[in-house]
Amino acid sequence: MKSLGINWFIEGRIDFEHKKYILLDYLQEINRHFDKSRLYPNLTDLIFHYNNLLSFKENKNSLQQAFPQRLTQVEIAAVKLTYQKIVEDDNSLKEIEQIIAYAMGQMDPAIKTGKEIYDFVERHLNIETVGVVPLIPYHGYFSLRNGSESGHFVYEYQITLFEGKDDKYRGINTRFVDMYKSSLTHTPEWIKSDLIRRYRHLPNPAVYHVESDISFPMEQTLLPVAKKSLVKYISQVA
């Protein structure tokens, strides 16, 4: 996918029409992916850039806070130097403010579209516990079926807890294990028994079956949404 540089709106020639062209070219590709229900990494990237613009707008004098996610110390220093040059030129600063306002106005509906697709996919997911869940269900397996496709994709998962600036968050790490062809015998319960027999490092794993009643792009949409939904599901029932 086409991507924007982290500091695309202040790098190089600061010209509204030029930056507008760069932005619209980027959004055109984002929307092409959304038209095909391809969410990731497009939605994540889009939200990242929107938040960067918002942070820059609100924290002009604190660029290290404005760009906490991807910048190295060297990059932060370079951005600060760029900013010092900008503040000395009032016309450039006004141009950047115009670019930011326009870009956020264009990104906002695209983000809403992406979130609507996400919500649509999530509504069509069903998650079921397979058998008895152990007291600590944060490490196990889940099988994933994509609409009418004839396969159960099985992943080992491990949910982790990490602390952000203001709250605690749960993340999930996954590893593809195997794919089972759908059949009368390959039920979620049978798959669980087979996994326990084959992989002894998890003698009593939590196992979940996740199924969508509509087919979606697997790697770009269904799997990422299923992972997030599973974290939410386990957090609610654990």
What are the tens digits of pLDDT across the range 138-173?
A: 999 999 999 988 899 999 999 987 655 555 578 899
8 A C-beta contact, residue 151 and residue 179: yes
Note the pTM of the prediction, 2 decimals. Answer: 0.82
CB count, 10 Å around CB of 8? 18
Beta strand pairing status for 151-163 and 168-181?
antiparallel
Q: Which percentage of the chain shows pLDDT scores above 90?
A: 62
CA distance 192 to 215: 23
Q: Give the residue among 22, 69, 65 at the shortest CA–CA distance from 45.
A: 69
> Does position 127 have pLDDT exceeding 50, yes or no?
yes
Q: State the pLDDT confidence band at 180, using cuts at 50, 70 and 90.
A: very high
Please report, for residues 2, 6, 26, 114, the alpha-carbon distance to residue 32 in angstroms, rounded to integers and kept in the order given.
Answer: 11, 22, 10, 11
pLDDT tens track for 33-83 = 999 999 999 999 999 999 989 888 876 644 444 444 445 566 656 666 666
CA distance 30 to 37: 11
Strand order across the beta sheet in which 151-163 lies: 125-129, 206-212, 139-146, 151-163, 168-181
pLDDT tens track for 81-107 = 666 555 555 567 788 889 999 999 999
pLDDT recorded at residue 67: 45
pLDDT recorded at residue 184: 84
pLDDT recorded at residue 93: 74
pLDDT recorded at residue 135: 84
